[in-house]
């Protein structure tokens, strides 16, 4: 079990001729052309200035919470000019209390764009929303039903992305899911389910100020979890993160908690710090 913390010699040398291959590499970098190997920096730094965005792909047709016919949509972000044959994928799920929010919410766009620039494929998804707010995160039946419905939608999104693996050059064995608030509840339920969808199995979960409705879903074979939570969160109390850690210790699952001391819910002003934590989490052996 791993619980993360909460929080030269200069010599004179004879001038040697520069090999032509080095000169070519320097010229390519100066011109802004992406290099396929990236000298090990791929997935760590923004190496691709441009991102290709494919909007409003229909991953499922069904009914909304009012029973009306509706299409469920997702957006795909790819690094422009990337030549890698297969890329890991990160699927982001927006928050909003299960009654509001969208795949184009600013945090989801920023996360998707950043990680696509680092060489990942990213998807930001919509899902079925409640018709009105329900504020009881501890035992409200409506929220539990909404989380289950959102999780089913997210499973369908994974099915669709797996069917499009060749189009988007997705490595289905390297999948991370993440979300904020309601999206984090959904990502956790999705990732803690033992089933793989068309070969896509969740290898890591990023939880922004969320939790599990049913803590018993966290089992020893669950993928690693990065939980980011503020101690002053009154919407989804910090206790949800503490429960994840305690349960992880009990069953031997890997849960890393990063604490935002004194911060409340949806602390997106700390996104830069959170992104650094996510990079550290993803670079650890998830696959």
Look up the pTM and report it: 0.85
**Residue 286: pLDDT band with limits 50, 70, 90:** confident
For residue 142, the model assigns a pLDDT of 75
pLDDT in tens, 4-23: 434 432 222 334 454 443 33
Q: What is the mean pLDDT of the chain?
A: 85
Predicted confidence at residue 25, as pLDDT, reads 32
Encode the chain in three state secondary structure: CCCCCCCCCCCCCCCCCCCHHHHHHHHHHHCCCCCCCHHHCCCCCCCCCCEEEEEEEEEEEEECCCCCEEEEEEEEEEECCCCCCCEEEEEEECCCCCCCCCCCCHHHHHHHHHHHHCCCEEEEECCCCCCCCCCCCCCCHHHHHHHHHHHHHHHHHHHHHHHCHHHHCEEEEEEEEEEECHHHHHHHHHHHCCCCECCECEEEEEEECCCCCCHHHCCCCCCCEEEEEECCCCCCCCHHHHHHHHHHHHHCCCEEEEEECCCCCCCHHHHHHHHHHHHHHHHCCCC
What are the structural domains, with CATH classification, of the chain?
48-283 (3.40.50.1820)
pLDDT value for 195: 66
pLDDT computed for residue 40 by the predictor:
64
Q: What is the mean pLDDT of residues 227-233?
A: 98
**What is residue 4's predicted lDDT score, i.e. its pLDDT?**
42
- What residues contact 212, with CB distance under 8 A and at least 6 apart? 185, 188, 189, 192, 218, 240, 243, 244
Average pLDDT over residues 123-137: 81
Whether 257 has a pLDDT exceeding 90, the answer reads yes
User: pLDDT tens digits, residue range 155-194?
Assistant: 999 999 999 999 999 999 999 999 999 999 999 999 998 6
**For residue 247, is pLDDT > 50?**
yes
Residue 136: predicted pLDDT: 58
Instruction: Check residues 40 and 47 and name the one with the higher pLDDT.
Output: 47
**What does the pLDDT read at residue 91?**
98
- Decide which of 132 and 238 is more confident: 238
């Amino acid at each position: 079990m791993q619980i993360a913390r909460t929080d030269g010699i200069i010599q004179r040398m004879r001038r040697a001729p520069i090999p032509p291959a080095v000169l070519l590499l320097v010229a390519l970098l100066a011109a802004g052309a992406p290099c396929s190997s990236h000298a090990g920096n791929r997935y760590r730094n923004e190496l691709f200035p441009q991102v290709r965005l494919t909007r409003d792909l229909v991953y499922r047709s069904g009914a909304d919470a009012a029973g009306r016919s509706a299409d469920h949509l997702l957006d795909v972000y790819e690094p422009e000019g990337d030549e890698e044959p297969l890329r890991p994928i990160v699927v982001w799920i927006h928050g909003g209390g299960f009654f509001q929010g969208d795949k184009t919410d600013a945090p989801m766009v920023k996360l998707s764009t950043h990680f696509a620039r680092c060489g990942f494929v990213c998807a930001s998804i919509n899902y079925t929303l409640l018709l009105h707010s329900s504020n009881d995160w501890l035992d409200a039946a409506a929220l539990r039903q909404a989380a289950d419905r959102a999780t089913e939608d997210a499973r369908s999104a994974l099915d669709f992305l797996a069917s499009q693996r060749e189009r988007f050059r997705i490595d289905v064995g390297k999948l991370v899911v993440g979300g904020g608030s309601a999206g984090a509840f959904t990502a956790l339920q999705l990732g803690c389910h033992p089933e793989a969808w068309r070969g896509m199995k969740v290898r890591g979960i990023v939880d922004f100020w969320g939790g599990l409705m049913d803590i018993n879903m966290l089992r020893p074979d669950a993928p690693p979890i990065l939980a980011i939570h503020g101690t002053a969160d009154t919407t989804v109390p910090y206790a949800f993160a503490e429960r994840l850690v305690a349960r992880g210790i009990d069953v031997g699952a890997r849960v890393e908690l990063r604490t935002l001391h004194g911060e409340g819910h949806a602390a997106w002003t700390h996104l830069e710090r959170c992104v650094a934590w996510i990079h550290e989490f993803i670079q650890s052996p998830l696959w």
